[in-house]
Chains A and B, each alone.
Chain A
């Protein structure tokens, strides 16, 4: 029973010190006077320490290694031990020839441009509908949230899959609905609407969490502000632009980041598919692709957050100026 206690004591123990300030003695050498502030620092690092270790070991180190891999030819001879031969920017310059990757990246960015604003607007509108005093609110809320529970990669792939094997919905919808529409609409319009419908379902399925976020945001807005505004003669339309939307700004930012990250990391993403295919042939090449993708997503996140935060700040400044006048 005693041996482990002495080990613990060796690693660190406290000793009653002078003037009521304890001492922490680590490895019997380092003596730290325990002021309250220092106690807090130690406690804080003990609590988050496991995250720091994990971050350095399982995330930062791999990220650095992946940067190194991306400039090298990586082989694992015999499955054990790894050999790295630096080849400069060869992996990056050969991306230009990787048509599949470039096409996947392009379609991902197009998808993002289409999905991000629509997803934010649709989830905000649905949250506003759910925020009305209606019966069955909980029921509708459960349905809107349902896809979050079941949307796994394979299920999304079977439903909305793209590429050679069309997903179930895309095949039924993009063939049947346009055919029916084409009986009274021009063909290109029918195709567009048929495709839109699949996209719309896809967007809705990706919006479950955002709807709940917006709903939570709406419920936090003080009802009295609306009453005051309506007494002052504001129409619901004005109330939306002057009260609801500004209050939801932070949630728009959070939802946007969530949407981007989710679309960027979801298993059905075609860029990830391409990286995964390349990974099986060359770790170096795949790392270079991953880094390019990382930079693209970083840029997208940066631009979107900048737009949302910048707009908020300039508006706040304007309001300040108005108040001063």
Chain B
């Protein structure tokens, strides 16, 4: 009798927990959320450690009972890091070697990608495979002769050594951007071009007036990636810019290595580390702001770029 009564509710409960298929039951959902939260925590854990470390005062740093969370918010590390980085001046210098190459790289990549996607010409396959191969070559193979070349041209230690490769489509990860644009322009129907051509427009006009306006989303995505990657790139800026044009990243590296040379006690080293953390966070902040305002373009850009292999 009782069993009869409960049967409908039991099957309802079963349906709620396990679902019609496996993937719409409550248990499945709970597992999915649980995993996502755990992994999400693992993702941000390093940043949390960094932030908490950067706010630790000297007492917290040497106090073994203070493990992760500082007892008070201590801004001194940030002030020291801000001064050591000469933030306001060097930020501007960093922007110059980040923003301008990113703009150049984006425009040139779209030009080249358009060329590959729209026209048939001999050796096209060869050039395209070279674009891919260039991406796979470790930069160390060509960096030394390029260094010598730029030295001869007098481009070392100034902005030219970053701008020239970007202008000629040989900058940081340029190949990826060329491929993004190539994939995009291949999806745009050729009939659009042909119609304009019949109306008497030349190729350059078609590119500027039809192709570019259509590919604004690709422009934004490419620009953002280029911008972020240039900002985070330290290896090549270190080699080519040297002392001639400091960026926040090189400045922090110098600060860290100088501090390591000077430190005598464990306390000093811990304090330097806390200041370095604060410096790192100061460098991260501009990119974080860009990311949280424009994150849609980052992620959907990858979706839509069609670089996923077809």
Query: Quick check: A155 and B29 within 8 Å, CB to CB?
Result: no
Query: Quick check: B121 and A44 within 8 Å, CB to CB?
Result: yes
Query: Quick check: B253 and A213 within 8 Å, CB to CB?
Result: no
Residue of A nearest to B176 (CB): A258
Any chain B CB within 8 A of the CB of A254?
A: yes
Query: Quick check: B42 and A168 within 8 Å, CB to CB?
Result: no
Query: Quick check: B234 and A146 within 8 Å, CB to CB?
Result: no
A224 to B301, CA, bound (A): 26
Most chain-A Cβ atoms within 10 A of its Cβ — which of B112, B127, B152, B170? B170
Given contacts A142-B299, A168-B277, contact A44 B46 (CB under 8 A): no
Any chain B CB within 8 A of the CB of A86?
A: no
Q: 0/1 per residue, A276-301, Cβ < 8 Å to B?
A: 10010001001101110110011001
Interface residues of B, count at CB 8 A: 93
Given contacts A129-B36, A254-B307, contact A152 B233 (CB under 8 A): yes
Q: 0/1 per residue, A121-138, Cβ < 8 Å to B?
A: 000001001101110000
Q: 0/1 per residue, B95-132, Cβ < 8 Å to A?
A: 00000000000001001101110111110100100110
Cβ contacts under 8 Å, A154 to chain B: 234, 249, 252-253, 256, 280, 283
Any chain A CB within 8 A of the CB of B141?
A: yes
Q: Pick the contact of A220 from B108, B169, B276, B308 — CB < 8 Å?
A: B308
Query: Quick check: B42 and A201 within 8 Å, CB to CB?
Result: yes
Any chain B CB within 8 A of the CB of A189?
A: no
Q: 0/1 per residue, B256-293, Cβ < 8 Å to A?
A: 10001000000000000100110010011001101110
Q: Which of A264-320 contact B (CB under 8 A)?
A: 264-265, 267, 272, 275-276, 279, 283, 286-287, 289-291, 293-294, 297-298, 301
Main secondary structure of the interface of B (DSSP, over half): helix
Any chain A CB within 8 A of the CB of B203?
A: yes
Cβ contacts under 8 Å, A291 to chain B: 141
Given contacts A50-B112, A250-B310, contact A149 B234 (CB under 8 A): no
Query: Quick check: B308 and A149 within 8 Å, CB to CB?
Result: no
Given contacts A82-B148, A159-B50, contact A51 B127 (CB under 8 A): yes
Given contacts A58-B168, A134-B33, A205-B46, contact A158 B309 (CB under 8 A): no
Shortest beta-carbon distance, B206 to chain A, in Å?
A: 10
Query: Quick check: B232 and A151 within 8 Å, CB to CB?
Result: yes
Any chain B CB within 8 A of the CB of A69?
A: yes
Any chain A CB within 8 A of the CB of B6?
A: no
Interface residues of A, count at CB 8 A: 96
Cβ contacts under 8 Å, A217 to chain B: 308-309
Q: Which of A54-69 contact B (CB under 8 A)?
A: 54-55, 57-59, 61-63, 65-66, 69
Any chain A CB within 8 A of the CB of B228?
A: yes
Shortest beta-carbon distance, B308 to chain A, in Å?
A: 5
A23 to B115, CA, bound (A): 22
Cβ contacts under 8 Å, B35 to chain A: 129
A43 to B165, CA, bound (A): 23
Query: Quick check: B249 and A204 within 8 Å, CB to CB?
Result: no
Query: Quick check: B120 and A253 within 8 Å, CB to CB?
Result: no
Cβ contacts under 8 Å, A40 to chain B: 119-121
Cβ contacts under 8 Å, A290 to chain B: 138, 140-141, 143-144
Most chain-A Cβ atoms within 10 A of its Cβ — which of B43, B112, B165, B249? B43
Query: Quick check: B134 and A55 within 8 Å, CB to CB?
Result: yes
Any chain A CB within 8 A of the CB of B200?
A: no
Q: Which of B145-178 contact A (CB under 8 A)?
A: 145-146, 148-149, 151-152, 164-165, 167-170, 178
Cβ contacts under 8 Å, A69 to chain B: 144-145
Cβ contacts under 8 Å, B139 to chain A: 265
Given contacts A47-B119, A55-B134, contact A145 B295 (CB under 8 A): yes
Q: Pick the contact of B168 from A47, A53, A129, A176 — CB < 8 Å?
A: A53
Query: Quick check: B40 and A144 within 8 Å, CB to CB?
Result: yes
26 contacts between A and B (CB under 8 A): A41-B122, A44-B116, A48-B115, A50-B168, A54-B165, A54-B169, A59-B142, A61-B149, A62-B143, A62-B149, A63-B145, A66-B141, A76-B148, A130-B36, A132-B32, A146-B43, A150-B232, A154-B256, A154-B280, A212-B303, A216-B308, A283-B148, A287-B145, A290-B140, A293-B141, A298-B136
Known A-B contacts: A47-B203, A154-B280, A264-B138. Give 4 more (CB < 8 A). A66-B144, A154-B234, A159-B49, A294-B137
> 8 tightest A-B contacts by CB?
A54-B168, A47-B115, A44-B119, A250-B309, A152-B232, A65-B145, A62-B145, A62-B142
